[in-house]
Every structure is written in structure tokens, then in C-alpha cells.
Amino acid sequence: MKISIHMPAYNAESTIGSALKSLLRQRDAGELDIIVVDDGSTDSTRDAIGALAATAPEIRLLCVPHGGISKARNTALRATRPDTDLITFLDADDLSPAGRLARDAALLKADPGLQFVYSKIRFFDLEDAEHLAPSATSHAVDGWIGQLGQALFRREVLEAAGPFDETLQQSEDLDLWFRIFAEQPKYAVTEEIGVYYRKNHGSITENRRQFRQELMRTLFRHRKRQPKLGELGLPQGFISADHMAELRTWVK
């Protein structure tokens, strides 16, 4: 199978090497096409990508002027090869667990009607650089929060949902999820870890004020667009109970 992984990157020189290596070790899953979109980085991010790409033809580097994560994601979508079977995402400061792509691809191959596989996320703060995973001394919390790296999609699912909203600098992933679930897709939920999410103070979600503003805008717009889908329009269990409870307080 042909699997495309989309990675937006902005000033990620310290982590992107590990992120890419965590994908390259999964060549057994199929033919990988790792599309890295450098969103106008001002550090050495491009050099770090280029050093790996020189020996890994799976990596494609696209450089664009700084325009935000939604524009970078759409650049990757447009660059996806038409013969791609599956698509997933990995942020430049996160890690992909060993064997994850092969595991989820096997589920999709076994059931042609399945549209995506959705796994758990593990938050961590300390990396084991040798194993490209959370270290033994790292804090770790598992759950479901709707992060795009948790899912492996058939290409057609994302094509039907449409592009990312480029007016959003945050919550662009939640906005996409709303549009995906509006089509009532068939999907599988696993207890396995789909992505290691690095908890650090450089991430965009650390800007809590902007995050809450854009999340509320996304929620209200969704309710107006799809009122028949209920309070949030997300299936039970898609987001862990504590995260779902917080979202509900924002839409009353």
C-alpha cells in the first residue's frame, strides 16, 4: 500500500529529525511518501530535513512562505500523489510508534469498507532518543483527543471532507473532524498508541487564549452548520471523557 504522511514544520530544528526517523523505521508498512512542508522556518529546520532526505527518498521537502499550519497542511494535501492509498499526519515535534503504520494499514486492508483507524495518543515530555519513544522517566498520559496523528485515513475520506480552513491557526484539526463525521464514516477504534505527542512549551496550543477563541469559533460554526448532529457532533469515546466535559462547558 502507498501511505502518505503529512508533516507541517516551523522552527522545529531540535525535534524534526526524531520525528522523521520514527517514520522511516516503518518502511515495512508499505511505500511511504513523507511530505514535509517547511512553513517559512527561520532556524535550521530545512537543513535538518535535507540531511535526512539526502539518504531517504521517501522524504519530500516543500518550502513555502510562512502562512500558518492550515496553509501548510493544504500544501501537503495538494502535493499528495493521486495513487496514494492512505494518509496520516505527524507534527514535527511528535513521534510515530514503531509498527504503528503496518498495524493500522493491515486493519484497513482487511476491511475494504473501513474508512479510517483511530488509535490512542500518548502525551510525553522526555524522549528516549535511541528508541524514538517516551523515556522510562517521562511523564505519560494516554487518551483520545482528536489529534490528526491518531488516525490513518483512506485518501478518499480527506478528499470528501475538503481542505483545512486557512482562517484558523488552531482547531483546524477539530474543524476537519466535524466535516468527516458529518458523512457518518465507518471507522475502527483501537487501544493501541497511534502517536506520541510531545508536551512542550513551544507548541502552538500553549497559546491558551488564542486556542480557546478559535476552538469556540469552530464549535459555534459547526453547530450552526450541522445542528442535527447534536451538541458536538462527535461520537461517544472519540474524545476522552475529561476533554469532552471541558468542550461541553464552552458551547453552552
Residue 181, H or E segment: helix 172-181
Rounded to an integer, what distance in angstroms lies between the CA atom of residue 62 and that of residue 75?
8
Rounded to an integer, what distance in angstroms lies between the CA atom of residue 23 and that of residue 95?
8
Q: Is residue 7 over pLDDT 90?
A: yes
Residue-wise pLDDT tens digits, 13-72: 999 999 999 999 999 999 999 999 999 999 999 999 999 999 999 999 999 999 999 999
Rounded to an integer, what distance in angstroms lies between the CA atom of residue 151 and that of residue 87?
9
Q: Is residue 121 over pLDDT 60?
A: yes
| DSSP line for 20-83 | HHHHHTTGGGSEEEEEEEEES-SSSHHHHHHHHHTT-TTEEEEEE-S--HHHHHHHHHHHS-TT
Q: Which residue has the higher pLDDT, 235 or 210?
A: 235
What is the per-residue pLDDT for 83?
97
Bridge partners of residue 46, in order along the sequence:
none
For the chain, give every domain's residue range: 2-200
What is the per-residue pLDDT for 216?
53
What is the per-residue pLDDT for 167?
87
Confidence of residue 250 (pLDDT cuts 50, 70, 90): very low
Mean pLDDT, to the nearest integer, of 222-238?
62
Mean pLDDT, to the nearest integer, of 1-17?
97
Q: Is residue 196 over pLDDT 90?
A: yes
Coil, strand or helix at 140: strand
67 burial type by CB count under 10 A (0-12 exposed, 13-18 middle, 19+ buried)? middle
What is the per-residue pLDDT for 112?
97
Residue-wise pLDDT tens digits, 90-110: 999 999 999 999 999 999 999
Rounded to an integer, what distance in angstroms lies between the CA atom of residue 206 and that of residue 235?
26
What percentage of the chain reaches a pLDDT higher than 90?
70
What is the per-residue pLDDT for 128?
97
Residue-wise pLDDT tens digits, 124-148: 999 999 999 999 999 888 888 889 9
The closest of 148, 154, 19, 42 to 96, measured between CA atoms, is 19
Whether pTM > 0.85 for this model: the answer is: yes
Q: Is residue 8 over pLDDT 80?
A: yes
Using an 8 Å Cβ cutoff, are 67 and 23 in contact?
A: no
Question: For the structural domain made of 2-200, what CATH number should be given?
Answer: 3.90.550.10
